[in-house]
Amino acid sequence: MMDIQFQSFIPIKKEWDIVAARQQGRDMSKQIGFGSVDQARIATAISELARNIYLYAEQGKICFEILDDMEHKGIKIIAKDDGPGIPDVGKVMEDGYTTSGGLGAGLPGIKRLMDYFDIVSEEGKGTEVTVQKWLR
């Protein structure tokens, strides 16, 4: 069973919150023991997720969890918003698809940075993206 040791979240309402969220992610991944490359990957993924919230939903939050199941440690990040939602999730998972004119790297980029990626979105209700990275 997975044992959650530490949980926290950062609300995303203004531009600066994007920086606050990625700094929190970097600090947590350092604490877990991730090396500098994975710290950069995790922090960048958070930056992209937070920017998506800021651009498309205006507000939401980034939640952090430290994962520790005895055998391995990791970090779980959930980006949650009550924004307009994504009508066609399949389409946004295609490389190169954009509605913002190239402001974000898009979800496929975030997926490549992490070990696990899941998205649940309902039109008119919001979007929830979950990503995880395991310490190797």
Binding of another protein at residue 37 (CB under 8 A)? yes
Structural tokens at position 125: 């209700």
Cα 93 from Cα 17, distance rounded (Å): 25
Q: Which residue's CB is nearer to another protein, number 68 or number 93?
A: 93
Binding of another protein at residue 112 (CB under 8 A)? yes
**Residue from the set 36, 72, 97, 123 that interacts with another protein by CB under 8 A:** 36
What does the DSSP 8-state code read for residue 95?
Answer: T
**Residue from the set 9, 30, 40, 59 that interacts with another protein by CB under 8 A:** 40
Q: How far is the CB of 47 from another protein (least distance, A)?
A: 4
Q: Which amino acid is at 62?
A: I
Question: How many residues belong to the site for another protein (CB under 8 A)?
Answer: 28
Element spanning 101, H or E: none
Cα 112 from Cα 100, distance rounded (Å): 20
Residue 70 Cα to chain centre, angstroms: 24
Burial of 61 (0-12, 13-18, 19+ CB in 10 A): middle
User: Interface residues for another protein in 41-60 (CB under 8 A)?
Assistant: 41, 43-44, 47-48, 51
Residues at the contact surface with another protein, assessed by CB under 8 A: 15-16, 18-19, 22-23, 26, 36-37, 39-41, 43-44, 47-48, 51, 95, 102-106, 108-110, 112-113
